[in-house]
Structure 1
Amino acid sequence: MPMTNMQNRDKKIPLSNRMQSILAMLQQEKLSHGKIPCVADIGCDHAFVSMACVRDGLAERVIAMDVRKGPLSIAQTHIQEYGFEKSVETRLSNGFEAIEPGEATWAVLAGMGGELMKTILQNGKAHLDAGIGLILQPQSEPQAVRSYLQEERYIIIDEDFLREDGKFYTIIKAIKNTETKKLPQMDNVELKYGPALLRKENPVFQEYLLEEQHKMQELQNRLSLQDTVSSKRRRKELEEELLLLARAMTWNHG
């Protein structure tokens, strides 16, 4: 006898630690302001986060979007398989293109490079102007993402940092500043390492800082054996990077 949609919903959705961190940030939002009317999952991949949003009661509905037909087709198959057709809609979309400003109150962008993420945010500026909340998981260049958020008067209210399959990942939660007064600007340390992460006692983040320090010092030692213009320039850059890193490591200690 075939399973009904409600029975399908009881199937376990495979969620990575990164996905669970994203959902935890949306859970915070629900606890603070109630169930989210609509979440846009941009670059939805397999739609696991989209479905879990509804399953866990975090959002009334989700619009799962991807720029490629292949991944979107896989997402549609999963949505039908797990029984979420009524609450998770799929749209072929390049970034925010397939939704209207204000249609979604929160957007999730995960699993893409920071520069691509920044481009998607720039192209979706009408949504940022409308004040959409953002959960961002850049695979690289988080500094570029934070810098752009600052330009667009977004406040980073939470960050998470985790290690999965041997790689480090940053998750950023940001909301639009609706006040007219000028916001304090993030300095270079906050832009590079994250204002919320610097305030936290995240053991994985501390582990990352130590590993970065070790790698930089090793490279510095190797470069000290070379006497070229490029090696001297790189040593100078490393000195500056190590100074920023030292500030990050002692951020909560005055």
Structure 2
Amino acid sequence: MKLSERLEVIANLVDKNTILADIGTDHGYIPVYLLKNKKIKYAVAADINRGPLENAKKEVLLNNLEDKVDLRLGSGLSVLKKGEVDEVIIAGMGGVLISKILEESFEVAKSLKKIILQPMQASDELRKYLYSEKFEIIDEVLVKEDFRIYEIIVVNYGGKKHKIEDDIYYEIGKKLVEKNDPLLLEFIDKKINEYEKIIKKIEGKEGQKIESRIGECKYKIEKLKELKGNVC
């Protein structure tokens, strides 16, 4: 079984011999892959929609893993009891939705040894939530698939509020900078390009909100260029 680059990087962040829950499992590719490679002991594969869960069931049956996977229909971490699993993957959702999932089952989230998060957008909002709610970001990884660079954020509940020294680290994870991720400079350039496109799209229009948005984008471009200069 071959995973996509994104899913493979996520799977490789799971610790060996763990009990895993994959939230929003879709086809169940990650749990099946990890079980087939004897990396994990057991998996809960959950999805809020019945269709994807049926797809996951087919994949589980195809690989004769019925005794190793518990398929659950439900929303977020509500399908889990506290202490039931060691690690959780929440991938392929927006950063705001991921924050909501953690908040709605906060006691379950706090009990986990590791949570692997892969936001599709609004990673800055997710980091703000994590820092404010005393989660510790223990690792971050970038992975390129086709023309897109994805952010993967690995956290656990540390119980200590972290003060971020520069708000640019909401935009670009500090761990990525500390470890000088191989895709970091390309990722920063993509961010700069995105903000330049926003300015170009709305420039010339009038209104306080427009002016505020342009100012915000220019500020972020300046901070991103400053960060890039420090990394180079």
Normalising by structure 2, we get a TM-score of 0.89
State how far apart, in whole Å, the 2-side matches of 1:127 and 1:171 are. Answer: 21
Normalising by structure 1, we get a TM-score of 0.82
State how far apart, in whole Å, the 2-side matches of 1:53 and 1:154 are. Answer: 26
Distance 1:220 1:117, change over 3 A: closer
State how far apart, in whole Å, the 2-side matches of 1:223 and 1:67 are. Answer: 37
CA distances 1:138-167 after superposition (whole Å, capped 9, x unpaired): 111111111121122211111111222322
Name the structure 2 match of 1:116. 97
User: How far off its partner does 1:105 sit?
Assistant: 1.1
On the 8 A contact 1:39/1:105 being kept in 2, the answer is yes
Distance 1:177 1:227, change over 3 A: closer
Mark the runs of 5 or more structure 2 residues left unpaired by the alignment: none
1:60 counterpart (38, 41, 45): 41
The secondary structure found in structure 1 opposite 2:46 is strand
Name the structure 2 match of 1:188. 167
Name the structure 2 match of 1:201. 180
| CA-atom RMSD in angstroms | 2.2
Q: Which moved more, 1:17-26 or 1:231-240?
A: 231-240
Distance 1:216 1:140, change over 3 A: closer
Mark the runs of 5 or more structure 1 residues left unpaired by the alignment: 1-12
State how far apart, in whole Å, the 1-side matches of 2:184 and 2:137 are. Answer: 17
2:32 counterpart (30, 39, 51): 51
Distance 1:151 1:58, change over 3 A: farther
Structure with the greater alpha carbon radius of gyration: 1
Percent of matched pairs sharing the same residue: 26
Distance 1:218 1:50, change over 3 A: closer
Name the structure 1 match of 2:139. 158
Distance 1:128 1:76, change over 3 A: same
1:133 counterpart (114, 117, 130): 114
Name the structure 2 match of 1:96. 77
State how far apart, in whole Å, the 2-side matches of 1:251 and 1:54 are. Answer: 42
The secondary structure found in structure 2 opposite 1:207 is helix
User: How far off its partner does 1:221 sit?
Assistant: 6.3
Q: Which moved more, 1:243-252 or 1:160-169?
A: 243-252
2:217 counterpart (227, 235, 238): 238
1:247 counterpart (222, 226, 230): 226
User: How far off its partner does 1:123 sit?
Assistant: 0.9
On the 8 A contact 2:110/2:156 being kept in 1, the answer is no
The secondary structure found in structure 2 opposite 1:209 is helix
Q: Which moved more, 1:87-96 or 1:185-194?
A: 185-194
